[in-house]
Amino acid sequence: MEQLLILLIFLPLAGALVTAFTGNAAKYVALVSGLLSLAVGLIITAQFVPDASTQFEVNVPWIADLGIHFHAGIDGISLITILLTNVLIPIIILAAFKHEYPKPQSFFALILFMQAGLLIVFTALDAFLFYIGWEAALIPIYFICAIWGGKDRIKVNMKFFVYTIAGSLFMLLGIIYLYLQNPADNFEIQAFYQLNLDAEQQGWIFWAFFIAFAIKMPVFPFHTWQPDTYTEAPAAGTMLLSGIMLKMGVYGVIRWLLPIAPLGLNDWGSTVMVLSVIGVVYASLIAFTQRNAKRLVAYSSIAHVGIIAAGIFALNAQGMQGAIFQMLSHGINVVGLFFVLDIIFSRMKTNTIAELGGIAKTAPKLAIAFLIIVLGSVALPGTNGFVGEFLLLTGIYQYNIWAVVFAGLSVIFGAVYMFRMYQQIMLGETNTLTAGFRDIQGSEQLVLVIICVLVIALGVYPKPFLHLSEASVQQLLEQVNQKLTSVK
């Protein structure tokens, strides 16, 4: 059993190494590696027993003198994020097929290297290992964005890199502190859960971790790196950042922050909730004013993540389940949106909304796919976005009615600006620029069909996925509540 987890983590690494030496065939090798990882992910899902236990556990000493173990395992919450990663990576690789990147072997090797880092983050049960994975995912994406990005890429990515690494260094400080508090002298997550820290200590730990996660997600006011980085990144970079990487932050909050520092949450939860809701409203309002479609989607992503964060900090089963499901559906939808914008950009050389229009006339297939993805991201019933958003809003409602009023407002805002964008890009009369628009074909069609199927399938029948994480979420909440009540 545990061999599967080893395979899951090291397969992308091996794939990256092979890809790095293949030259022009790199994209095919990378795709094969991605598909193999997906197969491993699906086998793991098939063998997974949906209860609260940690399965496929691997635990071997790594740097024994420092109490560091290679300890990883999968429970329901990890499984969803693993599925997300391994489904999206082949899609992202396939989406990059039409691009002629210089040095493709480095490009695809970095994507696979990042996948390994992400999978470590999503399975780590040792805080040190988690930190290693956290940084190992950052380095490749920095290079992807800074080598193959737009013209402002150097400055923008420097900000992105320094910003995120600042957050993670504070997390490292928190991890070292917890290690020193731990009488067992190790980084085991279970040992960290059991630590007896008072409210003040937990408050500090809470912020040390929260800043790292908040920068990654990003939660207002830590979001300032995000729109520029998304806009300047190459399409695959944007998809990796928005589709998978921001889920590292969400996952980190659920897996590490809540169970370790529930008292910190008790003291600061309302502050964070307010920040999240401000972020939702603020990002929605800014999204209205964007003239560049890529920036608009970037801001809408901040709004979506704000709702996810609020759902988690509401600390109830609906909010948490909604957050986990929404991670999955937001990942799929946002990758779809950025892919459509990339198709448009690679043909029209612009993402400025006002310059486009009438594309539906010349590209009906693209128009349908785009519509389905937009519907998913504005949470129309029957799409994947609806399930997550509904659960999230229910969860936030139980926490505070005012929070849900503002968060709910953003759903309406979201529908308005997304539809307006769709209308201005796709509908109306064609202009001189868009008259010659070619419809999608080949790999583009394949990617969009897969995404649309996922949008609808998850929306119509979300139960199996909700079921996967349900038991683990229950257990986690019990753990947190137990710790909270024992103090009160």
Partner 1 sequence: MNIIITIVVTALAVLYAGLFKAKKALLPLTLVGLVTALAFAVTAWDTNIVYYGMMEMDNFAIAFSSLIILGTIFIFLLTQNYFAEHSENVAEYYTLILFALSGMVIILSYTNMSMLFIGIEIMSVALYILAGIRKKDFASNEASLKYFLMGAFSTGFLLFGIALIYGATGSFSLDAINKYLISNHQSVSPLFYPGMILIMVGLCFKLGAAPFHFWTPDVYEGSPSLITAFMSTVVKTAGFAAFLRLFGGTFAPLHDFWMPPLLAIVFITLFIGNVTALFQKNFKRMLAYSSISHAGYLLFSLVTLTGNSSNNVIVYAAAYTFASIIAFAVLILVKQKTGGDGFESYNGLAKKNPFVALALTISMLSLAGIPLTAGFIGKYLMFLNVMTEYHIYLVAFAILNALIGFYYYLKVIVAMYFKEGPEVELNAPVQYKLVLILSVIITLVLGVYPAVILNLI
| Binding positions for partner 1, rule: CB under 8 A | 62-66, 131-132, 135-136, 139, 143, 146-147, 153-154, 158, 161-162, 165-166, 169-170, 172-173, 176-177, 179-180
Q: 75 by DSSP, 3-state: which? A: coil
Nearer to partner 1, 158 or 405 (CB): 158
* Three-state DSSP class for residue 381: coil
CB 163 to partner 1: min, Å: 10
Minimum separation from the CB atom of position 148 to partner 1 (A): 10
Least distance to partner 1, CB of residue 19, Å: 15
Compare residues 144 and 217 and give the one whose CB is closer to partner 1: 144
Angle, CA 24 vertex, CA 34 and CA 99 arms, to 5°: 75
* CA–CA gap between residue 263 and residue 195 (Å, rounded): 12
Measured CA to CA, the distance from residue 173 to residue 347 in angstroms comes to 47
Report CA Rg, the chain. Answer: 21
Q: How far is the CB of 169 from partner 1 (least distance, A)?
A: 5
Smallest gap from residue 315 Cβ to partner 1 (A): 29
For the CB of residue 136, give the shortest distance to partner 1 in the complex, in Å. Answer: 6
Contact between 123 and 5 under an 8 Å Cβ cutoff? The reply is: yes
Termini Cα distance of the chain? 41
DSSP strands (E only) in 410-449 = none
CB of 326 to partner 1, least distance (A): 30
Candidates 363, 311, 310; CA nearest to 340 is 363
The tokens of 72 are what? Answer: 């990883």
* CA–CA distances in Å: residue 426 to residues 355, 363, 368, 452: 11, 9, 10, 17
Give yes or no for a contact between 208 and 256, defined as CB atoms under 8 angstroms apart.
no
Quote the DSSP letter at residue 69.
E
CB-nearer residue toward partner 1: 175 or 344: 175
Question: Of 108 and 179, which has the nearer Cβ to partner 1?
Answer: 179
Both tokens assigned to 368: 């349908």
Cα separation of 299 and 280, whole Å? 9
- State the Cα torsion 378-382-385-390 to the nearest 10°: 100
Q: Which is nearer to partner 1, 15 or 395 (CB)?
A: 15
If the CB atoms of residues 172 and 217 are measured against partner 1, the closer one turns out to be: 172
74 DSSP 8-state letter: E
Q: Measured from the CB atom, is 149 or 357 closer to partner 1?
A: 149
When the beta carbons of 117 and 376 are compared against partner 1, the nearer one is 117
Let me know: does 45 contact 79? Beta carbons within 8 Å: yes
Shortest distance, CB of residue 164 to partner 1, whole angstroms? 10
> Between the CA of residue 488 and those of 239, 315, 411, what are the distances in Å?
44, 17, 36
- Closest CB to partner 1 among 117 and 243? 117
